[in-house]
Amino acid sequence: MLHTIISRLLQGIAVVFCLLLITFVLVRLMPGDPFSGEKAHSAHIIQKNKERFHLDQSYVRQFSVYLGFLARGEMGDSPVKEQPVTKIIKHSFPASLILGIAGISIAILIGIPAGILSALKKNSYIDYGTMVVAMAGISIPSFVIAPLLAGQVATRIPFLKIAGWGDPFDWILPAITLGLGTAAYLARITRGGMLEVLNQDYIRTAHAKGVRPLIVVTKHAIRGGIIPAIAYVGPAFAALITGSFIIETIFQIPGMGQHFVNATKDRDYFLLQGVVILFGTLIVFANLAADIALVMLNPRLRN
Amino acid sequence: MTDQFPRKKKLHILHKTANFPCMCKALLISIVIPTFAIVLSACKGDSPIDRYTQKKILVLGNSAEPQGLDPQIVTGVPENNIIRSIFEGLCVEHPSKEGVHMPGAAASWDSSDDFTEWTFHLQPNGQWSDGTPLTADDFLFSFQRMLHPNFGAEYASMLYYIEGAEAYNKGQAEDFSHVGVSAPDPYTLNIRLKAPTPFLPELTKHYSWFPVPKHIILKHGTIDQRNTPWTEPEHIASNGAFTLKTWRFNDYIAVEKNPRYWDHATVKLNGIRFLPISNQYTEARMFFNQQLHTTYSLAPEMIEYASNQYQPYLRQETYLGTSFIRFNVTDPKLMDLKVRQALALSIDSQAIIDHVLKGGQTPAYGIVPPTADYHTPKVVTFDPERARKLLAEAGYGNSKKLRLTLLSTDKEVSKRISEAYQDMWKKHLGAEVSIEQREWKTYLARMAELDYQLVISGWIGDYPDPTTFLEMWKKGDGNNRTGWSNEAYEALLAQAEQIKDPAQRLRTLEKAEALFLSEMPIIPIYWYTSNYLLHTSVKGWHPLLLNNHPYKFVDLVQPTQP
């Protein structure tokens, strides 16, 4: 097990390094630079600023300087925001983490029970109803759900705000928006997994032996039935934590998602590289955690 | 029995509560009680804005997270809005009158007859928010830092009016003592300019001219070092009506009244909160839900709705900016003046304002927005018949169609305006114009490299003087971006620079603009209007050309209930 974890971690480092390298080159190939704006500045000022960030040097030199930063635990300064990238991430990550945890909790609490119920009541109105709602959840984009919740729900409930990030009540609507899509996917995946397990011989044997249906489901079926859902939850959690540009801008949340989009738009090379490293690392760890959970649930994988 | 059961249960809960461990009690105190308090306060019916109004805290939508709070590094409007609250220049805006300069860090000022020598007498009780006296030495330090060749201040050129400033900034002169600023005593600042500049007090209201605290900056780094932590709330010292209290990245910036401000008795607000709301629809929804006193802007498609539903809050005010189309005059088709004129005369700006923008803008007939003293020459008007004639003279018609490409940004409003231009050129000239939408930086890069034929553009003045719109068309200026230049035009600008009489200077600038427009490297479309929402509880907030509302005169008064 330990060998597998170490091997996966080494693979993860290689993946993140490749991600960084590709991002590093691609963002520099885009037209423009961090210092171009509607008002053009003098050539000597632009040159001075390029020198400050080593952007006047070759890509190889720039990349080696950047690796030097990483070796010292830094990520360089953002040439647009004039602040250390680590500081920007430190300020933005807590909001994304809270939102991601709330979102995945909602997704699990809604998606998995709905999928199980749907599988147990296969081809009934409950099944059809649940799957129609799940399909709607997958199909309706967050930029439709978010303004609807803000405009129709927040205006009617006194302690909810249209947008803002001041107190825990402000987490509710963004977390629902973020969690609904994942809940819908989870419901469909769980239903599929459960249906497969419920048709297995050992479930039929348990029923034949007179085990109560509730025990058959909770003790025997769920353990195998939610394996596909667990495999999905890991990466989904990483995706939720890394934030959502749309949800953050609609609900005015100081999270990470907007940096991903704005850093690209602003040619904020260092911020984008920092965000890519963070997101890549999170996805590597989330996948690793999902794999470990799967091994724990399924003894056959231990070999 | 039914009466006793609930009581027993209640006693049981109380008993359990009494035995809670400390952590649970802390949880109860820290989460449950504030939660109830919030719910109760929310249920009382007070909106967030009512509560902030009672506390005299102004809550503003401010578009984006600021690039920083160092007045010598930043370049944007959101930064300007915050910096004006915590720092103050030599002169400040009048709350309601354009062109009137009020004492700021300087109590009074005078100039030589030819407006080249200026003396500013600083406030005798002026001080930084940490109690350190604000002296002329701080201004000398600020000017030196702004112009330091290693510092790389983007707005350094705003100080090029000072004698020797440009040479020092470009590294052509190493000694700062050759720059025309001096301090004969701690409360007197002399500024020597390279040419008559009657509008210098106007320039000093721009944040590039603001003083920065020498003693704080040098504590955290050297004079030419950027990016030091001196602007963080725990370090910063400022000289404005407010001081920085909280900076929650991407969430809000809060400033509070500065008790050491020289004119603190005038300041009515206790604080201001700046919210970086980038989504215009979110901002409008927050305003309608009583979470903001004012929005930064209002999306064009929401103006009609706001006008119908929220008329008392809608503000449509003249703004010092011009929307125009640039021609690439080096393009073979657009080298011909008649083609440029034909394209210009077939744009119906009023129709675009009425049907696309709906924001009360004014059709533009020149690049400089007219003021009481400056009369913009009327060169460009909508005349489709003449446009067709000019295009025919240029050799285009049914047999040879004019085909061009219009470069635009990826903003929704840019797309709709571009489509309107395309339709008008098709309708009036039979020209086939295709639209290329590009994201912001690509759009800027292509414009700078003259990699376009037509491009939608805009310009906002830094200060209310025609030169802020006219200087950029000089040969080699980074903001020209048309390939156009004209020696006679530049000679007129140089001539105006040396004229001592302000009225005569403006007449010469009008001549320069007339010449510029007759060559038509651009098509003026409309002069900007600032559309935004303002709560009726905000008092002392009047229309100003640059929207630089001096916060010290703003007050919050709860509207009386009908």
* B540 and B525 part of one domain: no
Nearest CB to B444; choose among A32, A43, A249 = A32
Given B43, B439, B479, which is nearest A40 (Cβ)? B479
How many interchain CB pairs under 8 A, A with B? 132
pLDDT range class, residue B14, cuts 50, 70, 90: very low
Domain with B48 in it? 35-67+241-316+531-556
Of A230-244, B109-123, B311-325, B402-416, the range with the lowest mean pLDDT is A230-244
Chain B neighbors of A252, CB-CB under 8 A: 275, 277, 279, 282, 286
CB contact under 8 A, B285 and A151: yes
Contact A165 B65 (CB under 8 A): no
* Strand, coil or helix: A268: coil
Long-range interactions of B96-99: CB distance < 8 A, separation 24+: B96/B542, B96/B543, B96/B544, B98/B371, B98/B464, B98/B544, B98/B545, B99/B202, B99/B464
Instruction: Look at residue A72 and tell me if it is in a domain.
Output: no
Name, in order, each residue with C-beta under 8 angstroms of B354's C-beta and a sequence gap of 6 or more: none
Map tokens 């296969």 to a residue. A122
Task: Name the B residues in 103-132 with CB < 8 Å from any A CB.
Answer: none
- For chain A, the average pLDDT equals 89
Contact state of A250 with B282 under an 8 Å Cβ cutoff: yes
A-chain CB neighbours of B441 within 8 Å are 30-33, 36, 265-267
Residue B346: CB atoms within 10 A of its CB come to 25
Do residues B520 and B422 both lie within one domain? yes
Per residue in A162-194, pLDDT tens? 898 888 899 999 999 999 989 999 999 999 999
Query: Which residues of chain A does B246 touch, with a Cβ-Cβ cutoff of 8 Å?
Result: none
pLDDT band of residue B18 (cuts 50, 70, 90) is very low
CATH of the domain at B176: 3.90.76.10
Contact between B42 and A31 using a beta-carbon 8 Å cutoff: no
Asked if B479 has any chain A CB less than 8 Å from its own CB, the reply is yes
Are both B121 and B148 inside the same structural domain? yes
Query: Which chain B positions have a beta carbon within 8 Å of A150's beta carbon?
Result: 282, 285
Contact A158 B170 (CB under 8 A): no
Chain A touched by B35 (CB under 8 Å): yes
Please check whether residue A12 lies inside any domain of the structure: no
- Domain check: are B457 and B311 in the same one? no
Rounded mean pLDDT of B449-454?
Answer: 96
Domain termination residue (choose one: B170, B203, B218): B218
Q: What average pLDDT score do residues A206-230 get?
A: 87
End-to-end CA distance of chain A: 9
Question: CB neighbours of B360 closer than 8 A, spacing ≥ 6?
Answer: B316, B353, B529, B531
Chain B contact probe: residue of A30, A35, A42 with most B CBs at under 10 A: A42
Q: In this structure, are B497 and B511 located in the same domain?
A: yes
Contact list, B151 vs chain A (CB under 8 Å): 48
- Domain limits for position A174: 93-266+282-302
Q: Which of residues 235-274 of B touch A (CB under 8 A)?
A: 248-251
Report how far residue B293's alpha carbon sits from residue B154's, in angstroms, rounded to the nearest whole number.
32
Same domain assignment for residues B407 and B501? yes
Burial class (CB within 10 angstroms; exposed 0-12, middle 13-18, buried 19+) of B36? exposed
Residue B23 clears pLDDT 80, i.e. is over it: no
Provide the pLDDT for residue B276.
Answer: 94
Q: Which residue of B has its CA nearest to A155?
A: B289
**Contact at CB, A52 and B152, closer than 8 angstroms:** yes
Sorted by sequence, the CB contacts under 8 Å of residue B89 that are 6+ apart come out as B104, B105, B204, B205, B206, B207, B209, B210, B211
Tell me how far apart the alpha carbons of residues B247 and B192 are, in angstroms, rounded to a whole number. 38
Chain A residues whose beta carbon lies within 8 Å of the beta carbon of residue B478: 40-43
Strand B362-363 and strand B522-533: pairing? antiparallel
Residues B111 and B250 in one domain: no
Q: Does B281 touch chain A (CB under 8 A)?
A: yes
Of the candidate ranges A110-119, B22-31, B200-209, B236-245, the one whose mean pLDDT is the lowest:
B22-31
Closest partner residue to B75 (CB to CB) among A39, A48, A168 is A39
Cross-chain CB nearest to A162 (options B65, B289, B448): B289
Is the pLDDT reported for residue A107 higher than 60?
Answer: yes
Does the distance separating the beta carbons of B278 and A267 come in below 8 Å?
A: no
If you average pLDDT over residues B7-36, what whole number do you get?
42
Tell which wins on pLDDT, B422 or A130.
Answer: B422
Which of A30, A33, A44, A45 has the most B C-beta neighbours within 10 Å, making it the best mutation to test the interface with B?
A45
Q: Structurally, how many domains does chain A consist of?
A: 1
Interchain CB distance below 8 Å, B277 and A265: no
Nearest residue of A to residue B66 by CA position? A81
Nearest chain B Cα to A253, which residue? B251
Is the residue at B434 inside a domain? yes
Buried b or exposed e, range A7-43, using 16+ CB within 10 angstroms: ebeeebeeebeebbeebbeebeeebbbbbbbebbbbe
Strand-pair partners of B193: B162
Same domain? For B287 and B391 the reply is no
On the question of pLDDT at B26 being above 90, the answer is no
Q: How many domains does chain B have?
A: 3
Mean pLDDT for B74-84 is 93
Closest alpha carbon to A116 in A273, A258, A222: A222
DSSP, collapsed to helix, strand or coil, labels residue A239 as helix
The answer to whether residue B232 neighbours chain A at the CB level (below 8 Å) is no
pLDDT of residue A243: 65
B65, B157, B288: which to substitute to probe chain A, counting the most A Cβ within 10 Å? B65
Residue B92's SS3 state is strand
* Mean pLDDT, range B496-509, rounded to an integer: 92
Q: Are A170 and A254 in contact (CB under 8 A)?
A: no
The reported pLDDT for the residue numbered B29 is 46
Q: Tell me whether residues A258 and B286 touch, CB distance under 8 A.
A: no
Q: Confirm or reject contact between B40 and chain A (CB < 8 A).
A: no
Is residue B62 within 8 A of residue B82, CB to CB? The reply is yes
In a domain, A50, yes or no: no
Count the neighbouring beta carbons within 10 Å of the beta carbon of residue B194. 15
Specify whether B459 is located in the same domain as B346. yes
Domain stops at, among B150, B185, B218? B218
Sheet holding B242-248, edge to edge: B57-61, B271-275, B252-257, B242-248
Per-residue model confidence (pLDDT) at position B397: 85
- Would an 8 Å CB–CB cutoff place B309 in contact with chain A? no
C-beta of residue B20 within 8 angstroms of C-beta of residue B263: no
Task: Give which of B289, B449, B468 to mutate to test A binding, by max A Cβ within 10 Å.
Answer: B289
Chain A contact for B152 (CB, 8 A cutoff): yes
Element of type H or E holding B86: helix B77-86
Does the beta carbon of B222 lie under 8 angstroms from any beta carbon of chain A?
no
- What pLDDT is recorded for position B42? 47
Q: Which residue in B has a C-alpha nearest to residue A34's C-alpha?
A: B441
CATH number of the structural domain spanning residue B255: 3.40.190.10
Q: Do B110 and B202 have their domain in common?
A: yes
Q: Are residues B371 and B478 in the same domain?
A: yes
Bridge partners of residue B110, in order along the sequence: B119
Contacts of A95 in chain B (CB under 8 A): 251
* Together in a domain, B393 and B456: yes
Do strands B57-61 and B271-275 pair parallel, antiparallel, or not at all (unpaired)? parallel
Residue B165 located in a structural domain = yes
| Span B366-376, average pLDDT | 91
Quote the CA–CA distance of B28 and B30 in Å, as a whole number: 6
Instruction: Indicate which CATH number applies to the domain containing B402.
Output: 3.10.105.10
* CB proximity B67 to A under 8 Å: yes
Question: What does the pLDDT look like over B249-283, one tens digit per residue?
Answer: 889 999 999 999 999 999 999 999 999 998 899 99
Mean pLDDT of chain B: 90
- DSSP letters, B249-314, are TTTEEEEEE-TT-TTTTT---SEEEEE----HHHHHHHHHTT--SB-S---HHHHHHHHHH-GGGE
pLDDT band, residue B34 (cuts 50/70/90): very low
Which residue in the set B35, B73, B440 is minimally distant from A82, CB to CB?
Answer: B73
Look at B43 and A252 and tell me if their CB atoms are within 8 Å. Answer: no
Within a domain: residue B146? yes
Q: For B459-491, what is each residue's pLDDT tens digit?
A: 999 888 999 999 999 998 889 999 999 999 999
A108: CATH: 1.10.3720.10
